[in-house]
Amino acid sequence: MNKLAQSWFNASYQRMLQGPVAHWLETLPAQLAHWAKHDLHGEFDKWCRLVAKLPSTTPSETDLINQVRIGKEGDISDYERKQIEGLLRQFMPWRKGPFYIHGIHLDTEWRSDWKWERVLPHISPLANRQVLDVGCGSGYHMWRMLGENAHSVYGIDPSQLFLIQFQAIKHFYASEAIHFLPVGIEQMPALQAFDTVFSMGVLYHRKDPLLFLTQLRDQLRKGGELVLETLVVDGDEHTVLMAGERYAQMRNVWFLPSVEALKRWLSRLGFINIVVADINVTTVKEQRTTPWMTSQSLADFLNPEDNTKTIEGYPAPQRAVIVATKR
């Protein structure tokens, strides 16, 4: 493994040692060593070299509460600004954000801040909690969790480009409390240790959604909180849509339950206090092509004559946020 990546993971291990998730260390270092030997993306070492080229800066102020805003424009020279922007562009496409780094606006495909605004009012305060974000993407919401004073925030996601994007942002705000591990949920031991587990935008990508919910449950301590966000369809507790080859052009979509069906799944798996916090139809303002993600986006995936349908004829994306407690 290259030295930079090793230093990222060593810092994560140090953090884990101090807290209730220390058991993770029984499996994680060997998994990441194996990952570095056998699963590295062809560009990974190049991306790491580019991260290492990001200039060191001293952010005069940081806001993680209202946005992810690190540093001000005046903290850096014009030359540094061009250098940072050029390097960050090497990590395109940027899907989850936005980020503001010393005044550089990374206008991502998703307004992930809008999702956070729908979620935050409905969850237990994160202050001092051990938090896991499963399928964390670039880590956008992890920064917002840190802004809410979580004790430690761990994100897992198998995407190596997302790992690099996360580390590129962390370069500018080197908090010891926030860590990204490039593993899938199925690789985690049942830690039963986190106070809050988030999983947003992942359930429909899992071939076995009930196993996935069980894996999320197994990361929570007794009484811990699950915050689940996923695509849903209208219908009663018997309604679950299984997508064909593609849903809104995505190939890896499996099950879209109704909210009632999802509630039943959660209750059968031992969750209580199941609350539907929000239901929202995704708009082309929330997911769109931008200068930082230049390929097709939601507007291209909807039926041009009827925006309530995807181009495959399924109901257009509608998302629910559900909060539940582990019994």
List interacting residues with ligand SAM (CB under 6 A).
96, 110, 112, 115, 134-137, 156-159, 162, 184-186, 200-202, 205
Choice between 84 and 99, CB closer to ligand SAM: 99
The nearest distance, CB 16 to ligand SAM, in angstroms, is 18
Pairing assessment for the beta strands 99-101 and 110-111 based on DSSP bridges: unpaired
Angle (CA) 217 221 223, round 5°: 90
Residue among 243, 263, 264, 240 at smallest CA distance from 252 = 243
Which tokens belong to 136?
């964390």
Residue 174 CB burial class (10 angstroms; 0-12, 13-18, ≥19): exposed
Choice between 71 and 257, CB closer to ligand SAM: 257
Choice between 135 and 224, CB closer to ligand SAM: 135
* Pairwise CA distance, residues 104 & 273, whole Å: 42
Choice between 212 and 265, CB closer to ligand SAM: 212
The nearest distance, CB 222 to ligand SAM, in angstroms, is 23
The nearest distance, CB 74 to ligand SAM, in angstroms, is 31
* Pairwise CA distance, residues 274 & 260, whole Å: 11
Query: What SS3 class is residue 178?
Result: strand
The nearest distance, CB 131 to ligand SAM, in angstroms, is 13
Residue among 247, 288, 235, 245 at smallest CA distance from 98 = 288
Which tokens belong to 267?
């209750």
* Pairwise CA distance, residues 34 & 259, whole Å: 39
Q: Which amino acid is at 5?
A: A
Other Cβ atoms less than 10 A from the Cβ of 142: the count is: 28
Choice between 201 and 209, CB closer to ligand SAM: 201
Choice between 67 and 83, CB closer to ligand SAM: 67
Query: What SS3 class is residue 189?
Result: coil
The nearest distance, CB 310 to ligand SAM, in angstroms, is 16
Measure the N-to-C terminal CA separation of the chain; round to a whole number of Å: 40
Choice between 157 and 195, CB closer to ligand SAM: 157
Residue nearest to ligand SAM (CB): 135
The nearest distance, CB 110 to ligand SAM, in angstroms, is 6
What is the C-alpha R_g of the chain?
A: 20
The nearest distance, CB 101 to ligand SAM, in angstroms, is 19
The nearest distance, CB 83 to ligand SAM, in angstroms, is 28
To 10 degrees, the CA torsion angle through 316, 317, 318, 321?
Answer: 170
Choice between 224 and 317, CB closer to ligand SAM: 317
